[in-house]
Structure 1
């Protein structure tokens, strides 16, 4: 026995004839296919043209931007509308304030006009009343004092009568410092205006008027004489003697122009111009 007889043989077992024939057939078929393909020549590779559609990233972004722009435009429109409304409201408020101020001004002007009209009516009524009283007083004085008829206003003639008539026609007018007529006077303004009616231009103030003529005694007065209160050349008040022991003068703001008895306010002296 050989010394390797007990070692299993490393040789591969032989294939059976059937398996060998099968594999040979398969191999032959493959080789035939390769041969046919080789005979046909190398295949022309056609270029692959395929468009791959990527997701449209900007589509959604455009929509978002458009929506944001629309929202911004809406906000701007709202702000513009609000600004227009605020401007309109401010203009309306200003117009209303101006109209109110104008209405208040007109109301105040109307109130002042009504007050002035009322004061004027009252003054006219008082003037009429004083005129009636003066007429009654003159008639009473004329009938009760026949002894002094020679020195009464009815005895005044010529220029003196005109001066007396003018002075008496102003009785009831208001006294205003510096007044020179036609409806308000101060004392020297009334005297000056009375003598101006007969062409005599007297000084404007009492001091000068008290020395404008010849000094006469208070016991020898004639209608048209200028009466003064205070010293000659420093008189503070003047009036006109109208006869019958009475004078006319613009006394003060409380009484206005009045006709009073000499006893009411005895003068200091008198001057005769006419």
Structure 2
């Protein structure tokens, strides 16, 4: 321990540089004021004695403290405002990100729902088309089976007619009665063959220029039906209706050719099958159908047998 430690110090406390500067500034200001006042007065004037109230150091300290406190408070308020603005900006940015994310998720779900709906509709459409195709195939198979059966029966009937005709000729070639009977049998067998062929095509498609075996137009069907009975007809409808003899619609027989329009200018033909009905290749919507004469009354008829 130092031997002078117990001796109290008599040194004056050092004044801070700020306080010394403040006092020097105050004194300098006072002296400057006095000097200016003296210089401004007239030279001959008597000295003016003026009392100037000097601010006390206490009041200056209080004012300075207030100014410092106000500045600190302003700085603190500004810092607080900036902090709030930063927080608000961050909150807005976060909200915008969340909204964008939510919208993207909603769009994704909506797109997934649309895709699922489209897939279900496509599957349903494919199922309907498959069912329709199967139904159409079954109907076509049944129609083909029916036509094949009718054609087989037609071949059997034609063979029987030819056999009966040949037998009648060999038994009594000079008998007029036998000849008449043979003629009747041949005509009856020919008409039956024509009618059977025409009915066997019901359900086939209508195609312009079609001549079979599964699609026809009106004159193509009539030509093929007569060809099945061994009779050749022209291809065009007005040529077919111009052949044979004209008959009344009230005196029709199976196998007669019906026509629509004038006899030499017909635009449609069909085959009368008996019972007030006819078979014809009508149009692309109906195909080959069997209809009543009342459904579409013809203009006239011709007999070729």
TM-score (norm: length of structure 1): 0.49
Higher helix fraction (1 or 2): 2
